[in-house]
Structure 1
Amino acid sequence: MTALTLAAAQSISVPGDVPANIRRHMAFMQVAAEQGVQLLIFPELSLTGYEPSLAADLAIAPDAAQLTPLRVMARELGLTVVVGMPIRMAPDAGVMIGALVLGADGSRAVYTKQHLHPGEEVAFVPGQGGVALAFGDDRIALSVCADFTHARHARAAAEAGANVYAASVLISEGGYAKDCAQLQTYAAEYRLLVLMANHGGPSGGWDCAGRSAIWSADGRLLAAVPGVGEALLVARRNNDVWAGHVVAL
């Protein structure tokens, strides 16, 4: 296999402040490009913070003009980036928890969260998922938080040919051990590299755990951010061997 470099952005979102969060995303993108990253994923709802009560007002169309700086920067850096945001596909449509894929080639795609966490149905409607991302012979399946709590989601990704499972999440301190054990199990059972991007600070009233992590396809923990705060977690494959490291921001 060819060389491949992926990264998880452990970012901290300013509640409801999309312009400020876009600027912070761009700072992460610049550091990722300096590390040779080809695909960068952000946590769930990273552009707004996890703020269900604000989602209806903050919902963004995938082609919204306010996202232009991210699209342009992704293309200029040759970096594909996955950002989290509440998405409304039409004026009268419900709001979905989305992951917007801004391609290094200027393309745009949308993944929408299929499985809502209990209580999220008050603010959101279920989405339809999305196709895996192709990087040469590699196929990278996306997941947004509660999606991965359904084993069939990761299993379907592997059966469809994915060799990487990239999860954008909000995981609290209380749920961290259980959720990471589940992701680690998927890595070993389905022979997937698993990359998890978590919030680095509180969001929506949740005490987020940080500790974004990478597991190899045999279930070993390759690298993890040691705690909360902002950081870039990089997974790099050379000569078919994956290694991970943390870059402080």
Structure 2
Amino acid sequence: MTTFTLAAAQSISIAGDLPANIERHLIFMQAAAEHGVQLLVFPELSLTGYEPSLAAGLAIAPDDPVLAPLREMARELGLTAVVGMPLRQAPEAGVSIGALVLGADGSLAVYTKLHLHPGEEVAFVPGQGGAPLEWASDTIALAVCADFSHASHPRLAVKAGATVYAVGALISEGGYPTDSALLQGYAAEHGLLVLMANHGGPSGGYVCAGRSAIWAADGNLLAAAPGVGDALVIAHRDDGVWAGQVVVV
């Protein structure tokens, strides 16, 4: 089994400020690379903040040049980053909640949120999901927030061969106990490494919980941010053994 290092980027987004959020993402990517991270997952809608009322005006096509600095940095660092962004994949199409996979090899893949949270249909349309990421001996299934509230979602990921379930989310203080228990349960039930990247500060009127976390395939917690704020929650596998750490960014 190969060595593998992945991390949740617990970032704080400035509402609607794409340039500033891109700059912050670049800092996270550099910090992650310094710790050997190969796959870095950001929270839901990390590049704009969770701002449904702004999403239509901010939505881009997946290959929009505005993302060039992030894609170039991914190539330069040899790191794959999964970033959150409102997407409009055709001029007349609705806006979906996207997770863009910016590959270390220059590739671009798209995951769009399948299951909307109640109320999100005002601003967003349901997405199509996306193919899992193949990574040496691992298969990584992506999810965006409410996707994981449907037990069928991780179940289908396992059927597709997933060994890692990577979630970009916005989880509030009130929702954290239930949501973290669900994710920990999926790790234990399905034998998955489960990663959850949450917002590190307020977004969209929500008081976000932070506490991004990674659970081992037996459900045990490998690492978790202690609260809110900017942080990297890292898990590293060497000779089949996982270890976790948290780094302040």
* Per-residue deviation, 1:222: 1.1
Please state how far the C-alpha of 1:218 moved relative to its aligned partner: 0.5
2:244 aligned with 1:232:
no
**What is residue 151 of structure 1 aligned with on the other side?**
151
In structure 2, the partner of 1:177 is 177
Counterpart Cα distance in 2 of 1:47 and 1:208: 16
Q: Which residue of structure 2 lines up, in the alignment, with residue 32 of structure 1?
A: 32
Q: What is the rounded CA distance, in whole Å, between the counterparts of 1:157 and 1:225 in structure 2?
A: 26
Q: Distance in 1 between matches of 2:97 and 2:160?
A: 23
Partners of 2:48 and 2:166 in 1: how far apart?
20
Deviation at 1:106, TM superposition (A): 0.3
In 1: Cα distance, 2:60 partner to 2:207 partner: 25
Query: Which letter does structure 1 place at the counterpart of 2:46?
Result: S
Provide the residue aligned with 1:54 in structure 2. 54
* 1:49-92 superposed Cα distances (whole Å, 9 cap, x missing partner): 00000000000111111100001010010000000000000111
1:215 aligns with 2:218: no
Mapping of residues 180-199 of structure 1, within 5 Å: 180-199=180-199
1:90-129 to 2 correspondence within 5 Å? 90-129=90-129
Question: Structure 1 residue runs of 4+, over 2 Å off?
Answer: none
Letter in structure 2 aligned against 1:164 = V
Structure 1 portions without partners, runs of 5+: none
Matched-pair identity in %: 74
Which digits, 9 at most, give the CA deviation of each residue in 1:64-123, with x for residues without a partner?
A: 111000010100100000000000001110000000000000000000000000000000
Cα distance in 2 for partners of 1:30, 1:17 equals 20
Find the residue that maps to 1:222 and give its secondary structure.
Answer: strand
What CA distance in whole angstroms lies between the structure 2 residues aligned with 1:83 and 1:60?
13
In the alignment, the residues of structure 2 paired with residue 222 and residue 66 of structure 1 have an alpha-carbon distance, to the nearest angstrom, of: 35
Question: What code does the residue aligned with 1:45 have?
Answer: L
Aligned residue pairs, count: 249
Distance 2:60 2:226 in 1: 33
Aligned residue type for 2:227? G
Q: Distance in 1 between matches of 2:211 and 2:132?
A: 25
User: What secondary structure sits across from 2:223 in the alignment?
Assistant: strand
Q: Once the two structures are superposed, what CA deviation does each residue of 1:217-244 show, in whole Å capped at 9, x if it has no partner?
A: 0011111000000001101001101111
Per the TM alignment, residue 159 of structure 1 is displaced from its structure 2 partner at its CA by 1.1
Equivalent in the alignment of 1:75: 75
Structure 2 residues not aligned, in runs of 5+ = none
1:139 partner SS:
strand
Name 2:241's counterpart in structure 1.
241
Instruction: State the TM-score, normalizing by the size of structure 2.
Output: 0.99
The CA deviation string for residues 163-197 of structure 1, in whole angstroms up to 9 with x for no partner, is: 00000000000000000000011000000000000
Letter of the structure 2 residue corresponding to residue 55 of structure 1: A
Structure 1 distance, partners of 2:77, 2:134, is: 18
CA distance in 2, matches of 1:64, 1:222: 36
Distance (Å, rounded) in 2 between the aligned partners of 1:110 and 1:188: 28
* SS at 2:139 equivalent: strand
